[in-house]
Amino acid sequence: MSTQSESPELPYQDTKRWMWPLPSLLAFLPIISIMLYDAYGYEAWLWASPIFFYGLVPVIETLFGEDSSNPPREAIPMLRDDTYYRWSSFSALPVVYASWAFGIWYLGTHAVSVNGYMAILVANGLMGAGALNAAHEIGHRRDKTSINVARFLACLSGMGHFRIEHNLGHHVQVATPEDSATAMMGESFYAFVLHELPGGYVRAWGIEKKRLARAGNGAFTLRNEVLLNTFITIGMYGVFGVVFGWIIVPYLLGGALLSNLMLSSANYVEHYGLMREKREDGTYERVQPHHSWNANHIVSNVMMFHLQRHSDHHAHAERPYQCLRHFDTSPQLPAGYFTMFVAAWIPPLWFWIMNPRVSAQMEGDMEKAYMKPSKREKIMAKYHNPVPTVAAE
């Protein structure tokens, strides 16, 4: 008989656990860059945010590599109910508002060059994009606290309609021609933005209008979340404009536009060229893992609350970020989102990288891809080569 007792198995440990406050901490970067500029006088410090996110992060995440591991099924309830993860995402709210207000105060009380102003504006826009990412995660929860936290994170950059549009519009119509937030193969990022940004607001307004009509109410009421949140943004911008003057208007509007474009970059990348099959009755097949592009790069996944595990997010929209899983059946991006965004902004580079991957995902049957109609003939000629099926004997 052995005298050694068997060691009990340790409970599942999230190896990224202590990294999840990082997205909130990064929202301090605009404040730090302004303080360094103020102390040393070098305007280069003001460009720290874009240099970090689009210069250093792609290099850093190459060094750290990928992680395709999943939490075991039995650990999901424990992870889901651990409030540490909830407050890690909630912590973004006070930090982004502090950073946003600090930039307003600095521009309203200090003279800076045009270059310096643009750098602070860009830093604000990137910080606002981080706020929208946190709003995306938190906005899928249904409790009133989460809804209000997501509301004010989105209102910062004028995207107060996002929760309605994303949850009740995009998640319902994703990877179909009805979804303004799904990019067509052969469509450039810039063409995509022209219908995605206005389309999101129009769709959100229509959803709220129908919801209110069912209760016998008109759309022009503060019970309309889209209208209420629009007023919140206008009110916040108006108060700061009155206090600090016209000098901060470009910072507010330009920063909001950049934040919106960053969100559009994510939408463009996430479902490019992918389409759900339409049934004979006119409905679409259920969303599957292969209807979203994924990336398992550790650094960008931590910085974006696992947004890159997008297949599981669409399959289980209410599953919190710490529980999202990798699927072998989901198409994989060659790099994390920050790198892919840069590629998306250079259409020839994006098409060179992604069009062959769409074709491979479709096994050469481009009839299954979501293509831009004006590019269909060219795409079919170049990529349509279905893999022949072997008939069973």
CB neighbours (10 Å) of residue 78?
Answer: 13
Which of 360, 295, 265, 219 minimizes the C-alpha distance to 54? 265
Span 277-321, pLDDT tens digits: 999 888 999 999 999 999 999 999 999 999 999 999 998 888 999
Q: Let me know: does 327 contact 367? Beta carbons within 8 Å.
A: no
| Spatial CB neighbours of 317, under 8 Å, sequence gap ≥ 6 | 140, 167, 171
Confidence of residue 392 (pLDDT cuts 50, 70, 90): very low
> Burial of 235 by CB count in 10 Å (0-12 exposed, 13-18 middle, 19+ buried)?
exposed
Q: Is the pLDDT of residue 390 over 80?
A: no
Q: How far apart are alpha carbons 280 and 276 in whole angstroms?
A: 13
The confidence score (pLDDT) of residue 148 equals 97
Long-range contacts of 37-45 (CB under 8 A, 24+ apart): 37/116, 38/106, 38/110, 43/113, 43/115, 43/116, 43/119
Percent of the chain with pLDDT over 70: 96
Q: Supply the pLDDT for residue 10.
A: 52
Residue 250, SS3 per DSSP = helix
pLDDT at residue 157 in the model: 96
- Give the count of alpha carbons within 13 A of 266, CB side only: 21
Question: What is the pLDDT, as a whole number, of residue 1?
Answer: 40
pTM for the whole thing?
Answer: 0.93
Query: Residue 59 has which token pair?
Result: 């290099």
What pLDDT, on the 0 to 100 scale, is given for residue 115? 97
Q: What percent of the chain has pLDDT over 90?
A: 89
pLDDT tens per residue across span 124-168: 999 999 999 999 999 999 999 999 999 999 999 999 999 999 999
- The pLDDT value given to residue 389: 60
Query: Please, which pLDDT band fits residue 350 given cuts at 50, 70 and 90?
Result: very high
Spatial separation of the C-alpha atoms in residues 16 and 160, rounded to whole Å:
30
Backbone angles phi, psi at 142, to 5 degrees: -105, -5
Tens digit of each residue's pLDDT (9 = 90 or more) over 222-260: 999 999 999 999 999 999 999 999 999 999 999 999 999
Distance CA 274, CA 175 (A): 6
Question: Cα dihedral angle (241, 243, 245, 250), rounded to 10 degrees?
Answer: -40
pLDDT in tens, 171-193: 999 999 999 999 999 999 999 99
DSSP string, 12-45: P--TTGGGTTHHHHHTTHHHHHHHHHHHH--GGG
Mean pLDDT, the chain, whole residue set: 93
**4-21 tens-digit pLDDT:** 434 345 578 899 999 999
